[in-house]
Structure 1
Amino acid sequence: MKLRKKLLWGLVALAAAGLLAWALMPAPVPVSAAEVESGPFVESVDEEGRTRLRDSFTVSAPISGYLQRVTLEVGDAVEQGQVVFRMEPHPAPALDARSMEQAREGLSAARSRLEAARAELETQQAEATFAAAEFERYRKLRERELISATEMDRVRSVRDRQRAAVRAAENAVDVARFEVESARAFLDIASGQRPDEDQPVLEVRTPAAGLVLTRHRCCEGAIAAGDPVLEVGHLDDLEVQVDLLSMDAVRVRQDMRVRITGWGGDETLAARVRRVEPAGFTKVSALGVDEQRVPVIIDFGDVEAAAEWLGVGFRVEAEFLLWEGEDVIQIPTSALFRSEDHWAVFVVQNGRAALRRVETGRRSGMITQILGGLETGEVVVTHPGDRVRDGVRVEPELRG
């Protein structure tokens, strides 16, 4: 009887000890976990870009003048050689009262010079008539040998000089007449208005077919030589420029595949790298850090389909596909940490965290390729905290 009681009390003591040990045992650490997967893997570089045209044409004013109103609007189609705007000479400037009075006096003076020139012409014509008659008289006397040859030459010279004087007087009359006409025209059109009569018009044509991309001037007015009026281009030349960090640009190669997203539609547009420019530039980031950027030019796979939605200067997201693989073992990058100069992860085994070294490969965003140390289907701890150590009990919560 006493032995039975002792056994009973012994069992009670063991149960109490077990309960006490269980109560004092630390609870499992709750952790987030992910399963090691095998599937397609893409290493890429993402960067924002802008659409542009490979070739565009700026139509400028070839000379200074007065621009007529530009009727073309942005988006209008033009053909090669089509007249896109017209120019005419500058209108004469308006004169103040003093300048107008001086112009009138100038016209009166020009008319007086014209009358004086005409009078001088009449005088020279009379002298020339007399010299011609004198020459005829002396010629008859010379035929009869009544005068010497020297005297005959002197009369001939006088006649010739008078003829030349008449031509000079005629030219002087023409010059005076032109001065009168110029002074009269200056007064007639010096009001700041364009004359009603027809003016010579310069028609400027586009060098290429396409669409009007930009209209720098629309209204009539004075324009200087070289000032831009229109910019013309064709959306078949649409391309994308992406300014990559130089450390990413060195990994990009010609003809590399690119996926265009983030342009506003659900479709992913296929493209390829046409050129990585050889010269970079410095750009200040939003945080005020100097960055070395390299322009990368991308061609659309189907530029006609892209042009249906996109235009010039549109924002897009470009994903450069640096490397692609099938059946690649991969885990979230957040599961990795450094342990004794090696990459390691915590693998969940029998409810406990087991430290394991792994060999990593390529990275793409939040995913890392695993070359060795893990098998498909194993569970690893993501974002391991200070409480997670080798052998610690864990309570994993799998996340996709």
Structure 2
Amino acid sequence: MKMQLVAMAAVLVGGLSVAGPATAQDAATVRVGTLAATPQPINPAKEFVGRIEARERVDVRARVTGFLQDVLFEDGQTVKEGDLLYRIEPEPFQAALSRAQGALDQARGQSAYADQQYARAEELLKTQTGTAATRDQRLAEQLTAKGNVQIGEANVQTAQIDLGYTEIKSPISGLIGRTAVTKGNVVGPDRGVLTTIVSQDPMHVIIPVSQREFLKLKSDDRTAAKQELTALIRFSDGSAYDHPGKIDFIDVSVDRATDSVTMRAEVANPNGRLIDGQLVKVTIELEKPVEKILVPQSALLADQQGFYVFVVEDGKAAVRRVTLGREVNMNASVETGLSPGDQVIVEGLATVRPGAPVSTYPAPVLPKAS
């Protein structure tokens, strides 16, 4: 950690300044720059490795078998839901529909004839010129004819559906990959994926969190129902992504293979900078900030007892032992050792000794915490 390197480099100067007694030379007034210890809002954060995942992803396949007549998109273009992507040769399916429609008309004619025959058998039975066996036979023929009509209607519907499948349309909006086939090839349900479409905005970030870190998150009450967790993204080159994400899902079980819990964040992607499958670093922050005193890392000194800073007390330099939290920009958060209002010496440390009289001037203000 950078603050540790800075602090260790100051051990010789800092350690000697604490241990050595004040001399006549030390008693000379030293001009130093100070900052008032002021609590600033910061977000407790932890960094994880995450992977970008499209919110919607579709492998486009043919649902009927036939010759591919047209490919109606360019590889890598943006498509909208309902856009026509492929056209399969429709003529065989139109012929199948006509054949099914003809069979249905035949079945309807036979059904109408069976209805008439059954009605005639009923009348003859009432006048005792027909028999019950004949009536029953005509009833069976009527029911069979009605069944054939239903089968014919189903066949027509199936043929219409198959004809509709000759036009393959985009089920979602997003970026389309390259086509795996060109026109003239035979495609079908068992011929593999034709192309892939991934949605672009918003995207998901999948974050595997070890059980150990997950328990820390819970112990800090960061997964309370009424508190939203914020996810900040950085790319592999260290640059920050300018849209924060929100944790919207925490898995209900632990992955036995990795002993981790999967968290998911949703993040806006209006400019398409996030790409499906991309590896990123994710910092999870609590939306509600906590107040911490920050000091520049350049103000930190260290010896065998730990970290300390110089403060001004009654016009003299005094040592304050501190315990530190995490880094925030070029600063360090102080957990204990300083109180609001303490004048921390941040400039002129090279000549400061414990108990030496100092004159102060205001040092430049700390960068705002983020």
Normalising by structure 1, we get a TM-score of 0.45
More helix by share: 1
In our comparison, the structure showing a higher alpha carbon Rg is 1
